[in-house]
Amino acid sequence: MKPGQKLEMNDFVAPHVQVWEIACRCGCGFGTHFGDIDETVIADFEEIRARCGGESITINSGCRCRKHNEAIGGSPNSAHVEGKALDLSPPYGIGGFPERPEFVKICEEIVKDGGVGSKDYEKTGGVGSKDYEKTGGVGSKDYEKNGGKTGIVHIDCRTKPPKRRW
């Protein structure tokens, strides 16, 4: 495939990732072209999935155009608008009740140069907050709300600043 080549929604960008999972939810087309999503974050996802025993992991958000990102309250500096981030729902039994910390640990081990965070996500303001996007990385949107047991986990492959943890 060539960079910029249009992909169909049911095409695969990786063995376990289809275009419809990473495309901007507003329908603008961002995420539907080869190269829209960073290969590093996709490779990290595939490795995380393998470490979870091949269990299915839901991608809640991938690429976001600036208009959609703004509409949902995302930070203007969101890694999603660069195609460098994924929001994941942990698989039940790995990150779901009650093993969510195990899923975050797996993410921390795999997302080496990007950002990783966990239970302090709500304290930093969550998705769309300036503090969250400054730290980037992996965070759990609903961790505090659900007693530290469930929540969306954000991973990104930004390397400036390198290896962020919270």
Give the domain ranges of the chain: 40-165
User: Taking residues 120-148, what's their average pLDDT?
Assistant: 41
Structure tokens at 157: 């492959």
Residue pLDDT, tens place only, 78-114: 889 999 999 888 887 765 544 677 888 899 899 988 8
pLDDT digit string (tens) for 32-47?
999 999 999 999 999 9
Per DSSP, the three-state class of 88 is: strand
Measured distance CA(67)–CA(88) in Å, rounded:
22
Its pTM stands at 0.80
- One CATH from 3.90.1570, 3.40.50, 3.30.1380, 2.40.10 for 40-165: 3.30.1380
Q: What angle is formed at CA 27 by the lines to CA 131 and CA 85, rounded to 5 degrees?
A: 35
